[in-house]
Amino acid sequence: MMPTLIMNWPAGEQLVHFDKNETLLSAALKAGIPVENSCQRGDCQRCIGVVRQGSARISGSDETIGPGGSLLLCQVKSSSDIEIELAHDPNEILPPPKLYQAKIIGLERLASDVIRLEMVTPKRQYLDYIGGQYIDLIRHGIIRYHGYVDDMPALLRSVDAVVLPSSYPEGIPKIFLEAAACGLPIISTDFPGARRVIEDGVTGVIIKSPTVDYIETAILALYNQPDRGRQMGEKALVLTSGSVLGD
Ligand code: FES
């Protein structure tokens, strides 16, 4: 018989049967519980919970976490019944699902975990949305909407690049400094502030305009050459620790 996971949060409780070979995060997401998560590899600390009853084993080790211990749901499995308490109500983190009429006019798999979806909606359809949230609800884990983030270093440690396709002239966006200080390459449009941080092809990529094609090409170029992205990130890190930006 499959073990049972009981997820508790301030405004609710849900019971899930799971396979002992899957992580508790995977079991929760499969059951439709939108547990906050991002990296799914133990870096971002978004999927934290506390064991109320039972125990869980950290994947790839013999270490177990029992009642009162906190754990990252993406990093643990369990072979017996377990009860976990989440600090936040998952239904408050992501808005409840809504159905919209739409016609899909293009669906392309750009990489193993990246899809591009094009759709049109009726002319008067009012779409008030934050990029990613609807697709996230349908295809858990492919696009993740983070909501408010107060631990930027943890978030930035979980990504490979930062993309800011701004469409107007800006100063130096703070996210550029945060990204460079975390050793990440930056992809951005060409505006004065971008030129102060990004040396095209050295610490990041400057694209001509914020269109899907330019953004896609730049992201895929780094995705397909991870070493190049890492080298750019290292150079960006040197930039923030030197005097270049302080001049
Ligand atoms: S999703 Fe679990 S630590 Fe990032």
Would you state the pLDDT for residue 127? 61
Would you state the pLDDT for residue 9? 83
pLDDT at residue 32 tops 50: yes
What's the average model confidence in pLDDT over 3-15? 87
> Where does 4-92 sit in CATH, by number?
3.10.20.30
Would you state the pLDDT for residue 133? 46
What's the average model confidence in pLDDT over 122-143? 55
Would you state the pLDDT for residue 91? 62
CA 14, 16, 21: angle at the middle one, nearest 5?
Answer: 145
48 lines ligand 1 (CB under 6 A): no
pLDDT at residue 76 tops 90: yes
pLDDT tens digit sequence for 178-220:
999 999 999 999 988 898 889 999 999 999 998 888 998 999 9
pLDDT at residue 139 tops 80: no
> Where does 160-247 sit in CATH, by number?
3.40.50.2000
Mean pLDDT computed over every residue of the chain? 82
Task: State the Cα–Cα distance between residues 25 and 4, nearest whole angstrom.
Answer: 13
71 lines ligand 1 (CB under 6 A): no
Would you state the pLDDT for residue 45? 75
pLDDT at residue 71 tops 70: yes
39 lines ligand 1 (CB under 6 A): yes
pLDDT at residue 36 tops 70: yes
Which ligand 1 atom sits nearest the alpha carbon of residue 40? Answer: 1
Cα–ligand 1 centroid distance for 16 (angstroms): 20
pLDDT band at residue 176 under the 50/70/90 scheme: very high
Would you state the pLDDT for residue 112? 66
Q: Which of 23, 35, 36, 44 to mutate to test the pocket of ligand 1 (most atoms within 8 A of CB)?
A: 44
Q: Give the residue among 181, 177, 165 at the shortest CA–CA distance from 215.
A: 165
155 lines ligand 1 (CB under 6 A): no
pLDDT at residue 140 tops 60: no
Would you state the pLDDT for residue 151? 83
pLDDT band at residue 40 under the 50/70/90 scheme: confident
The residue extents of the domains of the chain are 4-92, 160-247
Would you state the pLDDT for residue 143? 59
Would you state the pLDDT for residue 246? 43
Tell me the sheet residues that pair with 114.
111
What's the average model confidence in pLDDT over 116-134? 63
pLDDT at residue 138 tops 70: no
Percent of the chain clearing pLDDT 90 (strictly above) = 42
